Amino acid sequence: MMSRTRTAAIAATAIALVLGATACGDSLGGKPVKGGTLTIVEKADFDHLDPQRIYTTEADSAIELLARSLTNWDVTGSTPKLVGDLATDTGTPSDNDQVWTFHLRHGVKWQDGSEVTSQDIKYGVERVFSPDISGGPPYASQWLVGGSTYTGPYKGKSLDSLQTPDPYTIVFHLNQPVADFNETTAMPTWAAVPKAHDTGSTYDTHVWSDGPYKLQSYTHNKEAVLVKNPYWNASTDPLREQNVNEVDIKMGMNESAIDQLLESDAGSAKTSMQQWPIAGSNLSTVLGNPALKHRIVSSKAPGILYMAINTTRVKDIRVRQAIEYAINKETVRGAFGGSGYGDYATTMLTPGIGGYKHFNLYSSNPAGDLAKAKQLMAQAGNPKLTLSLSVENTPTHEHFGDAVKNALNQIGITVNVTPVDAGSYFSTVWNVKNQYDLYWEDWIADWPNASTVLPVLFDGRQIAKLPQANQDASYVNDPALEAQMDSLSKMPDLGARNAAYGNLDEEIMRKAAVVPLMYMNFPEMFGSKVGGLYPDAILGEPNLMKVFIKS
């Protein structure tokens, strides 16, 4: 998952995550109470709320209230635990992990009272393959047999590798063994969608609910209102609760204004919370304020903030290496809020992800090594380049843009900072039609496994396959690398596989296609009357499934 627009990773490799699973603040708040309205104040609109198109953390968190997926994570314990959501359990693999069978719960109802069936899940997953339904993670199209040629259900065709022998059973046939397939199915991609209520590319604002809440209204860039789904039943849903009466999601507020509102905890701020990061201008004062400590929930998900260099536009590797050395990570991190944001990063895998290997190929000084950078530029012939940098149109990102601009100015590169609307950032920059030279990016592993970081971000085959949702922003397209990724994913021994991923990380870093900047922490503020917020080490957001408003 992307940070707020992070792409979420699934699966917990546990260890480091255990530390993160405890709430920093007092977000659990005691015994749940019924009633009240929860307000979520957002900096911008959701990129997508259509479950098959979701690949950002805010939307992934919000969709938990509306659309249940096949499996899901129970984050109420000390480590996230994979459980069945629409399925009764975490599925049954067979045929060497290439066939997965799930049995569905009975009595799960849509918001109109009809029952959720395996056919609805099949239809939902089939939508992923339609070019109109772009933006989500690539796993379905990668792993389902026949996925490479299937173009979705809108022309009347269906995908045979998704079998529904009866309304409560669904069977997936994969083209390779995937031992943790049931961790993939915890993503909203695997949510059910009823064919009769599918509205295609406008489903973002018409999501049909089988969760505790349904969409009453959703005006883009303005507000989404969720009210109770009368047909939701706690007996069929062990993960969620239906405590608050309404959830108001207000979009488009200035990021600093959100922080100041939540800090004040006055009036409606008491029942509000945020999903986007604390603004760079406020982070260190918020984290340093002892009075706010009990109103901050911090989710320890493995995330990385980085700058991608478009290797098809910045072709000279020496220039890219010079950029690696020239970037001043200190001012960059300062722009995002300072040391509280996270540690400096030198690898694409975050500590905590299985396969993390510590190395640093470039400057050992986080402030950069200008001498070395200039040397490399001289070797490249001292080109006077002008590069565009895409950032979100927020003050924090503008300062980040300034930091990059000023650092690269010193080696003769002029950077044009190009703000992109934050509510559609990833839909814009992941579209191969919109090309920039440098990109602000962040990534949270879909599940804490290197297989949800490196292949997703560096497998060049998706450029042609998913032109509207190409996460390989550096346009790395190396068949040798791809062959390695393929063989790695099939390695049976977890230890050997993780070690191999660590080496792959280092090999990719040698291409100087990305500049890793910071590993991310995810502190969020919430109002004093909000309770039931569990830190979610998978999502990197406070989990909304058991939220309530204190009386």
Partner 1 sequence: MTQQPQPIGTTGASPPVVGESAHEPSSPRPTGAAPAVAGRSPARMAWERLGRDRVSLVAAGISVIFVVVAIIAPLLTAITGWGPITPDNKAIDPNSGNYPLGSFGGVSFNHLLGVEPGTGYDLFARVVYGLRTSLVVGFSSAVISTVLGAVLGMAAGYFGSWIDSVLSRVMDIFLAFPQLLFIIALTPVIQAALQTNEHGGTNENLRLLVLVINIAAFAWAYTARLVRGQVLSLREREFIDAAKIMGAGWGHILFRQLLPNLWAPLLISFALAVPQNITTEAALSYLGVGVVPPNPDWGALLSDASQFFLQDPAYLFIPGDLLLILVLAFNLLGDGVRDALDPRANRS
If one asks whether residue 346 binds partner 1 (CB under 8 A), the answer comes out as no
In terms of Cα–Cα distance, which of 462, 465, 452, 420 is closest to 438? 420
CA distance 177 to 490: 7
For partner 1, which is the closer residue by CB, 424 or 484? Answer: 424
Least distance in Å: CB of 393 to partner 1?
Answer: 8
Number of alpha carbons in the 13 Å side-chain half-sphere of residue 356: 19
If one asks whether residue 15 binds partner 1 (CB under 8 A), the answer comes out as no
For partner 1, which is the closer residue by CB, 279 or 530? Answer: 279
Which structure tokens are listed for 137? 């993670």
Least distance in Å: CB of 284 to partner 1?
Answer: 4
CA distance 72 to 60: 12
Select the span of 145-153, 187-195, 337-345, 532-540 touching partner 1 (CB under 8 A).
Answer: 337-345
- Pick from 66, 389, 404, 456: which binds partner 1 (CB under 8 A)? 389
Residues 6+ apart with CB under 8 A from 113: 231
For partner 1, which is the closer residue by CB, 167 or 252? Answer: 252
Select the span of 147-155, 202-210, 385-393, 511-519 touching partner 1 (CB under 8 A).
Answer: 385-393
Least distance in Å: CB of 403 to partner 1?
Answer: 7
CA distances from 179 to 96, 146, 183, 190, 454 (A): 8, 20, 9, 17, 18
If one asks whether residue 338 binds partner 1 (CB under 8 A), the answer comes out as yes
Select the span of 10-18, 137-145, 326-334, 538-546 touching partner 1 (CB under 8 A).
Answer: 326-334
CB atoms within 10 A of CB 142: 21
In terms of Cα–Cα distance, which of 52, 82, 36 is closest to 447? 82
Instruction: Judge whether 337 and 284 are in contact, CB under 8 Å.
Output: yes
Helix pair 317-326, 370-379: axis angle to 10 deg: 170
Select the span of 18-26, 185-193, 324-332, 424-432 touching partner 1 (CB under 8 A).
Answer: 324-332
In terms of Cα–Cα distance, which of 134, 108, 149 is closest to 54? 134
For partner 1, which is the closer residue by CB, 87 or 279? Answer: 279
Strand, coil or helix: 519: strand
- Pick from 3, 184, 243, 328: which binds partner 1 (CB under 8 A)? 328
Least distance in Å: CB of 354 to partner 1?
Answer: 30
- The greatest distance separating any two alpha carbons of the chain, rounded to the nearest whole angstrom, comes to 69
If one asks whether residue 529 binds partner 1 (CB under 8 A), the answer comes out as no
Strand, coil or helix: 256: helix
For partner 1, which is the closer residue by CB, 289 or 487? Answer: 289
**Site residues for partner 1, window 266-285 (CB under 8 A)?**
279-285
If one asks whether residue 334 binds partner 1 (CB under 8 A), the answer comes out as yes
CA distances from 407 to 329, 412, 460 (A): 10, 10, 29
* Site map 437..456 versus partner 1, x via CB under 8 A: x-------------------
Instruction: Judge whether 331 and 376 are in contact, CB under 8 Å.
Output: no
Instruction: Judge whether 196 and 167 are in contact, CB under 8 Å.
Output: no
Select the span of 28-36, 290-298, 412-420, 460-468 touching partner 1 (CB under 8 A).
Answer: 412-420
- Pick from 205, 416, 431, 468: which binds partner 1 (CB under 8 A)? 416
Amino acid identity of residue 201, one-letter, is S
- Pick from 119, 233, 268, 339: which binds partner 1 (CB under 8 A)? 339
If one asks whether residue 252 binds partner 1 (CB under 8 A), the answer comes out as no
Select the span of 105-113, 393-401, 445-453, 460-468 touching partner 1 (CB under 8 A).
Answer: 393-401
Residues 6+ apart with CB under 8 A from 272: 38, 39, 40, 41, 261, 262, 526, 527, 530
CA distance 545 to 530: 13
* Site map 417..436 versus partner 1, x via CB under 8 A: xx----------------xx
For partner 1, which is the closer residue by CB, 388 or 477? Answer: 388
For partner 1, which is the closer residue by CB, 93 or 280? Answer: 280
Least distance in Å: CB of 367 to partner 1?
Answer: 8
- Pick from 163, 256, 375, 428: which binds partner 1 (CB under 8 A)? 256
If one asks whether residue 387 binds partner 1 (CB under 8 A), the answer comes out as yes
- DSSP code, position 298: E
CA distance 225 to 183: 30
Name residue 226's beta-bridge partners.
215, 247
Number of alpha carbons in the 13 Å side-chain half-sphere of residue 254: 7
Hunting for tokens 């062959």 — which residue is that? Answer: 483
Residues in contact with partner 1 by the rule CB under 8 A: 254-256, 260, 279-285, 328, 330-331, 333-339, 367, 386-389, 393, 395, 398-399, 402-403, 405-406, 416-418, 435-437
